[in-house]
Structure 1
Amino acid sequence: MRRLYVFLTGIVVIIGILLGLSLIMKHESGGSQNDNKLVIYNWGDYVDPDLLEKFTDETGIKVEYETFDSNEAMYTKIKQGGTSYDIAIPSDYMIDKMIKEDLIVELDKSKITGFENVGDEFLDKSFDPKNKYSIPYFWGTVGIVYNVKMVEEEPKHWEDLWRKEYQNDIMLVDGAREVIGFGLNTFSYSLNTKDMGELNQVVEKLNELTPNIKAIVGDEMKGYLIQEDAAIGITFSGEASEMLDANENLRYIVPSEGSNIWFDNIVIPASVEHEEAAYAFINFMLEPENAAQNADYIGYATPNLNAKALLDEEVRNNESFYPSSETIDHLEVYDNLGQKWLGIYNDLYLQFKMYRK
């Protein structure tokens, strides 16, 4: 028995020594192997996969990449917890909401390099004054895609969508703010109005558009427009860019009376577990060469001015996707309307969709 006791005691001592050495090695290496990991939560197909591989090759940090299909889905999952994300890329109004609910952390600017590459016109927006919480990633507009072969007269203004010759020719992106938004633009009302008289007027106007609407869709709009199954689409500039690349008969315009200008920014969620990896990724994406490669792949406009200078001249001088300052002056960011008014917009949009049926 004594020999067995001595043997077991020896085993315990050895295990203790090994555990101690493991903790020392972990401390000296700056953490566990999990510190060489980065968990990203982003829109689908919203980063060049080659860049993720390049990031891993350069830093040794392995990337786990999860996707969402709406700001609301992203917000809900982060708020519920359960999954720790190190990087997320929400849109403007949602960033404001997440700041107010302490769902994202204030950035340590001393750990960020390349911030000076971002144009001043993309900074200090209402949803994140002084960019305390977010770094611009992509930006764009909502506008009209149309096929020059399939329309006798090209649409130039939102009001043009109601032309009788466009019957059953128009596809709308499935979004309350976007659809209610272009209705508001038709009357030159604010995209963030809280005037029920204006909103009800817009819904009545949209109801009159129903004979011209072929469908209300999501990502599948690209296929319809590219294959010329529809003549006109209301969509985002980046989606339009992909369509134009695939069909030479397509054009994209932002009506001069106004539209939405949106921003998707990089944030660090409060659930972050790999903070140093998150800053490494931010710095990597701020490098002009990487930002330009990403913009080439995605098709959206980059706020990184040094990256823009690396793009093909035809791309960077295309005012459909890089609008002039005069056009930008007529564009408006979606505000965080709050739960009450967001619910009203969603209800009005649902009424419009039901009216179509």
Structure 2
Amino acid sequence: MKKYKNLFLILLILPLTLISKTNAKSVDVHLPTFNIYVNEVKVENDYKKYPFIVYKGITYFPLTYDDSKFMGWNLKWMQKTRELHVVSTEQVNYQWEDYKQVKVKTKNKKIMKAKTPEFKIKFGDEYLPKTIGKYPVLVYNHVTYIPLVSDYNYEDSCMSYEFSKEKGLEITRPESLHLSAFKKNTFNFDNGSITYYENANIQIYYLDISYKGREANVNCRGENVNLGVELTEKLYPNNQGANIPSLINKFWSEPKKEVANKVDIFVKDNIAIIPLAQDIDGKAVNSVVKIDMDELKILSVKKLTKEEVLNYNPEKYLN
């Protein structure tokens, strides 16, 4: 098994104007003959519009918006200086089951043509050389590709990958959280449902809310990590979102291995009462979040007293 650590994997669809038609060098690239996984999700490379490619035996990562978001990166094209800037986010923004892979109807060719770019790529405060060792940065189908090699120490790296004959290439962000580590629960109600994933050992909840054909998700993470709400692109096409105030972190508590008398999500009419933490005297909640399911907005977050926890009644928090 060969390990490659500390690499940036990013993604951006670049306009046609970024590719020089006169000076760019053209090379043959191939589709990989092995499986590829990104944060435990298998890449459908045969029909992926922006597939992983191989050049001179080295795998290249497509820098598209969706792949970047899934790995926790923000990308920005600087038109004036013709530069692609890559900045790591504090948290991984992906939804565990939502790795968007744009598909094509026709199966990708095994051999394709790629070109070298005529623009610069900046990782953090450092520029990526156009050629890393023997392997140049490439552009295929108007998308930038970077070689997964250890010849370059990417600035502020938080990516790793490894290859094995058994599984193929596995690409991960070390601090990312994977769905397989969580227990899945689903709460169904009229006109919608709430699915949430939990892990008592690290006290993390992920809620996927669907109501009247609209969707949102609530990302709840443990102590010292921002707790927030992100509305999906179906609600906000311009990728707008709303965050719970950071002071909610003080409501969070230490995890407990075993939780008795589990409290479920409560929904009445258009209001949902969702328990956040579970560790006081074996009860399942010490704070609750109130959500308007019609507007998909957080109305309030309340820390419960010990007495309120021991006598927990979700209807009490509807008004």
Fold conserved (TM > 0.5)? Answer: no
Higher strand share: 2
Greater RCO (CA < 8 Å, at least 6 residues apart) = 1
What TM-score comes out, normalization by structure 1 length? 0.21
The structure number with the bigger radius of gyration is 1
What TM-score comes out, normalization by structure 2 length? 0.22
